[in-house]
Structure 1
Amino acid sequence: MTIRWFIPLVAGAVLASCPAGAQGVLGIATQAKDLILPSSPSVAATVNGSRMALLKPDGPGPFPAIVLHHQCAGLRTLDGKPNRSMGEWARAAIQHGYVVLLIDSLDQRGVASVCEGSKNGVNFPRGVRDAMQAADYLRTLPYIDKKRIAHVGFSWGAMVALIGGSKELREVLPGSQGFEAAVALYPGCFTIRPSNGAPPFEIVRNSIDHPLLVLMGDKDVETPADECVRKLQAAKEAGAPVEWYVFRDATHCWDCDHLNGTSRTRRGINIVYRFNPGITEEAKRRVFEFLERTWAAGRTAVRQ
């Protein structure tokens, strides 16, 4: 599948030429101002997924940490309601002993949605830079284990996680150590083909260089799993540390109870969202087991 609507033409052209277009990528990633991140932890019970938040378990740490990155409508739905799925994921991470930085790439920039394309400088490179700056910020906090920080993204945020998993883009966004692991839930794995004739750009690249888990649904018509599986397999065969799982009978945004039963048409495709609590719980189990395996492998490598 090809796609033309998620990213400005110039971004597609510059990304395709990394690292030669380093200054261009940095320019695209800085069209929008940097986020002002939460300065102190919030009480987990008060977080409903409607605003950025920093959350931590009780105790001094050091704790592993997760940067949670939302779907294309940010931390509020298009009708202004809280994105409850992000609040639930944040609370689940706290229960598993993680510090959580729930970020919002849209709100401070006056953007309601990037579901139909980039707005006000909010594009994929900006999203990657947001996530990396969030990771850098977490490393300044005294209760964080600086070698156990993961990026967990959903739909738009999942595509940001996939792109940010490749070293080419990170190398042209200076000043960040990035992540030790990443998880992408129901991403698109499209080929972006700029209409200005610039070379195509793959969201999934063979240069992914840290452990990556991708979770998808077989009934997802918005970001179909088949294309992801094919490209992830090619990346794995090229040596990328990727793994994936496709849930049966899962639509796009299977964890979004606030969207359950709603429908919309995008790119001529009728999309119906179905919240599936069983798959949502299974997805959480797989995410945290993957992260624990990744941290354990890192500890073993250090000892050796």
Structure 2
Amino acid sequence: MSPMSPRLLLLLLLLAYPAAGQDRVDWLSARILAAAAQADDLTFPTEPTALSVTSPRMGLYKPAGPGPFPAIVLAPHCSGLGVNGGSPNLSIGRWAKEMLDHGYIVLLIDSQGARGVDSTCFEPKGAVYHVRGALDVLQATQHLRTIDYVDKKRIAAVGFSWGAMADLIAASKLYQTAFKTGSGFAAFVSIYPACFTFVTPHGSPYEIVLRDINRPGLILLGGEDLEAPASQCVSKLQAAEWSGAPVEWYVFPHATHCWDCAHLDGYSKVDFRGNRITYRFDGDVTADTKRRMFAFLDMVWAGQK
């Protein structure tokens, strides 16, 4: 059988809200799984290793002690961890350390680099679509459930930019049903995701935010983010909330995209839409991001008792 074309693949992901009827859900689920399966599954580490903050790699990182520990699946930006000729993702290295210091196991994944892809910032490569990233996150969560020292009730997904979009998709009931990856994560934090309707070169749009989100989620956005405008996220998150999704969000008024990226302070580029953007590191916003993220997860865990 020939592989599914990108046009057909993305046409099948018009999922702003699934139509009623089990037959349609089954039909969509089969095609979602086929879309994600165009790229091979990741192979997740089974033994913890030491974290390099300055050169982070896909790996399993564990605090000292026997556990059980809460765990985070950490999904980075559209350039992954920079293992294929790019610069190391220093901000993700620092976040992994913050999570370890806070008592979390960290399963750091790399949807791009582990598949030999340098970047998906301008377009998908190697069939690494956002839907593939969502499956990576859910499979990583499933993998964590096989590890003895992981607290199975306290597994969260945290993503930045591209990884944040993967988390939003993975929080959708329809995608969870399609992927058949078990109970999934218990909560998620998406940091500066892009929420607009994506239109591919083939003209087939698909959504990042669906109204059937069924996991508690915190979405953090930048009021001066020109790459991933907060306004487009807020309108869709409001629609999801009105439909019963357990989501909350906060907009940092003066933050740009990648506000936590000290190594990219002042970096300027033309984004995938042709707009000139500049990143500004903001230490205060980064500290508040840390505070809000851990406070939100603590609140979710407390609600489980």
TM-score of the aligned structures, taking structure 2 as reference length:
0.90
- What SS does the corresponding residue of 1:15 show, helix, strand or coil? coil
**Residue equivalent to 1:154:** 160
Q: Kindly tell me: are residues 49 and 238 of structure 1, through their superposed partners in 2, closer, same or farther at Cα, counting changes over 3 Å?
A: farther
Q: Distance in 2 between matches of 1:277 and 1:78?
A: 28
Matches within 5 A, 1:94-133: 94-133=100-139
Q: Kindly tell me: are residues 24 and 95 of structure 1, through their superposed partners in 2, closer, same or farther at Cα, counting changes over 3 Å?
A: same
* Offset at residue 292 of structure 1 (A): 0.4
- What SS does the corresponding residue of 1:132 show, helix, strand or coil? helix
Q: Kindly tell me: are residues 72 and 161 of structure 1, through their superposed partners in 2, closer, same or farther at Cα, counting changes over 3 Å?
A: same
Aligned residues: 291
CA contact (8 A) 1:8 1:123 kept: no
* Offset at residue 10 of structure 1 (A): 3.0
* Offset at residue 28 of structure 1 (A): 1.4
Q: Distance in 2 between matches of 1:276 and 1:79?
A: 27
Is residue 9 from structure 1 mapped to residue 7 from structure 2 by the alignment? yes
2:43 to 23, 36, 42: 36
1:222 to 217, 227, 246: 227
Structure 1 segments unaligned to the other structure (5+ residues): 1-6, 300-304
Matches within 5 A, 1:83-94: 83-94=89-100
Q: Distance in 2 between matches of 1:147 and 1:276?
A: 33
- What SS does the corresponding residue of 1:121 show, helix, strand or coil? coil
CA contact (8 A) 1:135 1:149 kept: yes
* CA RMSD between the two structures: 1.9
Q: Distance in 2 between matches of 1:290 and 1:11?
A: 35
1:23 to 27, 30, 43: 30
2:269 to 264, 269, 280: 264
User: Once structures 1 and 2 are overlaid, which stretch shifts more, 11-20 or 234-243?
Assistant: 11-20
Structure 2 segments unaligned to the other structure (5+ residues): 19-24
* Offset at residue 176 of structure 1 (A): 2.9
* Offset at residue 268 of structure 1 (A): 1.7
TM-score of the aligned structures, taking structure 1 as reference length:
0.91
Sequence identity, in percent?
A: 49
* Offset at residue 277 of structure 1 (A): 1.3
* Offset at residue 127 of structure 1 (A): 0.5
* Offset at residue 270 of structure 1 (A): 0.5
* Offset at residue 24 of structure 1 (A): 1.9
Equivalent AA in structure 2 for residue 102 of structure 1: L
* Offset at residue 16 of structure 1 (A): 1.9
Equivalent AA in structure 2 for residue 40 of structure 1: E
Q: Kindly tell me: are residues 210 and 42 of structure 1, through their superposed partners in 2, closer, same or farther at Cα, counting changes over 3 Å?
A: same
1:168 to 174, 186, 195: 174
Equivalent AA in structure 2 for residue 170 of structure 1: Q
* Offset at residue 248 of structure 1 (A): 2.1
Equivalent AA in structure 2 for residue 241 of structure 1: P
Q: Distance in 1 between matches of 2:64 and 2:155?
A: 18
Q: Distance in 1 between matches of 2:197 and 2:275?
A: 18
